[in-house]
Structure 1
Amino acid sequence: MTERKPSGERFESWVDRQVREAIERGEFDDLPGLGQPIPDIDKPYDEMWWVRRKLRQENVSLLPPALALRREAEQALAEAARADSEAEVRRIVEDVNDQIRAMTRRPIPGPPLTLVPYDVDEIVREWRERRGGGEGR
């Protein structure tokens, strides 16, 4: 589409002609999503939709570091509760504790981090109780 719009032609008709000719040449035939419904077409308009989609695809968080770590810690505790072995529970909790300790050693932007490392033995004890009290090393 290197052709320039002729000076006497209306812009809309020039664009329409360019699109029609590209369709006739088959330039739109192999586009991804051809014939499929447009995603989220029924949702209310959001002018930042493409930013939100990109952030979701890239797994980027807009939360301040302290809040992002708090969410990650909650997810880690839930994952530990579903773990199959005591060793896995310990690994999960120790990993999140390492992150908490690392963040408390340096200044961070946003709200302060109010998390303290978890007591691994206490988490393991609770995990055992939920599983019926058996040792699970």
Structure 2
Amino acid sequence: MTERKPPGVPFESWVDRKIREAEESGAFSSLPGFGKPLAALDTPYDDLWWVKDKLHREGVSILPQALRLRKDTEDALIEARTAPTERAVRELLDGINERIEAMLRRPPPGPMLDRKPVDVDAFVAQWRAEREADSGAQGPPH
């Protein structure tokens, strides 16, 4: 819709007319969700509803990997209780165990710290030595 609102025409009436014309021409009939009820009309309003919906549609987990695996393990145990065969139970739980073992073997995501704890006593000894060397080079205070 690139047409501009003509001068002197009230904004709302022009917008309403454009919407009505588009609706009559079928411009809205191919939109996703056409003819379906609006989701979550009965739930309380949430300012971030669209962010959460987008994350859900994209399959993005907002849980850290360890917490996601805990949840997946709980779900797998529940599902395993109702599995139809022993083979299905084993396959389900073996898959979860592989993920648990992999998580236990690898470090958490993100860059490695690449640091060791500081040896405080050694650092203090070096600090003292440098202080004594600096104060001795300057001579006695005046």
Q: AA paired with 2:17? A: R
TM-score by length of 2: 0.60
Give me the whole-angstrom Cα distance separating, in 2, the residues matched to 1:44 and 1:24: 33
- The alignment yields a C-alpha RMSD, in angstroms, of 2.7
Letter in 2 for 1:61: S
Residue 14 of structure 1 aligns to a residue in which SS?
A: helix
CA-to-aligned-CA distance 1:66-87 (integer Å, 9 cap, x gap): 0000011111222222233333
Corresponding residue for 1:56?
56
Matches for 1:81-100 after TM superposition, within 5 Å:
81-100=81-100
Q: Distance in 2 between matches of 1:86 and 1:20?
A: 60
The change in CA–CA distance for 1:39 and 1:2 in structure 2 (over 3 A counts) is same
Q: CA separation in 2, counterparts of 1:30 and 1:92?
A: 40
Instruction: State whether structure 2 residue 73 is matched by structure 1 residue 73.
Output: yes
- Unaligned runs of 5+ residues in structure 2 are 111-142
Aligned to 2:42: 42
Structure 2 partner of 1:118: none
Specify the structure having the higher radius of gyration (Cα): 2
When the two structures are aligned, how many residues end up with a matched partner? Answer: 110
**CA–CA distance in 2 between the matches of 1:27 and 1:86?**
53
Identity %, equivalent residues: 55
Rate the CA distance shift 1:63–1:83 in 2: closer, same or farther, 3 A.
same
Asked if 2 retains the 8 angstrom alpha-carbon contact of 1:64 and 1:109, the reply is: no
Partner amino acid, structure 2, of 1:56: H
Is the 1:76–1:93 contact (alpha carbons within 8 Å) kept by the matching residues of 2? yes
Separation in 2, partners of 1:30, 1:80: 41
Counterparts in 2 of 1:88 and 1:25: CA distance versus 1, 3 Å: closer
Matches within 5 A, 1:1-137: 1-29=1-29, 31=31, 33-34=33-34, 36-109=36-109
Segment of structure 1 superposing worse, 58-67 or 33-42: 33-42
For 1:80 and 1:14, locate their aligned partners in 2 and report how far apart those are by CA, in whole Å. 60
